[in-house]
Amino acid sequence: MPANVVVIGSLNMDLVTRAPRLPRGGETLIGHSFATVSGGKGANQAVAAARLGAQVAMIGCVGHDDYGVRLRDALLAEDIDCQAVSVVEDSSGVALIVVDDNSQNAIVIVAGANGAMTPAVIERFDAILQAADVVICQLEIPDATVGHALKRARELGKTVILNPAPVSRPLPADWFAAIDYLIPNESEAAALSGLAVDSLQSAETAASQLIAMGAGKVIVTLGAQGSLFANGKGFEHFPAPTVKAVDTTAAGDTFVGGFAAALASGKSEAEAIRYGQIAAALSVTRAGAQPSIPTMSEVQAFRPA
């Protein structure tokens, strides 16, 4: 079957250590554990969408190294179409992650092969985009490639989702008209809007600003406070399911993948948001990025405490 969700983005090997707390500058801490785990925001969202019910294709680049083999194999194990995951002469992308005892994390990313994602790569696999219903992008590949992918998906009439992560500056103004759903977290919403986001009310103000800038609809993910949906006509707050968090890594990616999978299956926006929230809530009860992402059956079986 052709993919109904196409993810364009990064594949990284996550090098994860758990420590009592996040280190301060110049400080050395003794960690609890270390693991290498398949990740990258693009790959995480592809895995989430696949486990949560979508037929998925991934467009990305890995290096000519052992990490590249493992990253691609991890997607194939989820029945994700990897014909557009190219192997390039570079090292695979990596993410260095520290998770503290309060389940908060700090991450440093080295792009590696993800930097080889050019607009020409998107053009080479245009047939995959043409067959999709939903197209997802993030910001761990070059900006020129993201912009090209957003605009091409819009030309094709696809539902376009941008998860603007990681971000430290406003998006190019001409991107917004191509975005159906802009899905930032609090810090990303603040960076994009230029406004502080530290409450539900301030999230509403930032979301309104992003819609005024041209985004179709905005979903601000607020962690344990749930999600805020804005469409230019009003707002709706979706409280998060209550769970005991172990590791928040990939929670946002799980939400995006679950939301996209639900939309692709015909669910309403509200149903898709709730579906993504349950998936994200389940993910934080487990360690790791891709290993923490739940399946569709687990989300369907979830009952609030």
Instruction: Pick from 104-118, 147-161, 232-246 the range whose average pLDDT is largest.
Output: 147-161
Domain 5-11+40-85+114-301 class, CATH top level: alpha beta
pLDDT of residue 137: 98
Average pLDDT over residues 30-55: 96
Tokens coding 268? 């309403």
Q: Which of 90, 133, 180, 253 is catalytic?
A: 253
Separation between Cα atoms, residue 74 and residue 90, nearest integer Å: 19
Residue with tokens 């601000």: 220
For residue 8, what are the β-bridge partners?
A: 59, 137
Listed in order, strand segments (DSSP E) in 9-55 are: 12-18, 33-39
Separation between Cα atoms, residue 40 and residue 117, nearest integer Å: 14
pLDDT of residue 1: 65
Give kind and range of the element (H or E) at residue 203: helix 200-212
Average pLDDT over residues 268-285: 96
Tokens coding 61? 């680049």
Could you tell me which of 216, 213, 220 has the C-alpha nearest to residue 231? Answer: 216
List, for residues 91-145, the tens digit of each pLDDT value.
Answer: 999 999 898 998 788 889 999 999 999 999 999 999 999 999 999 999 999 999 9
pLDDT of residue 201: 96
Known active-site residue 253: yes
My answer on whether omega of the bond before 239 falls inside 30° of 0, hence cis, is no
List, for residues 106-117, the tens digit of each pLDDT value.
Answer: 889 999 999 999
Instruction: Tell me the average pLDDT of the chain.
Output: 95
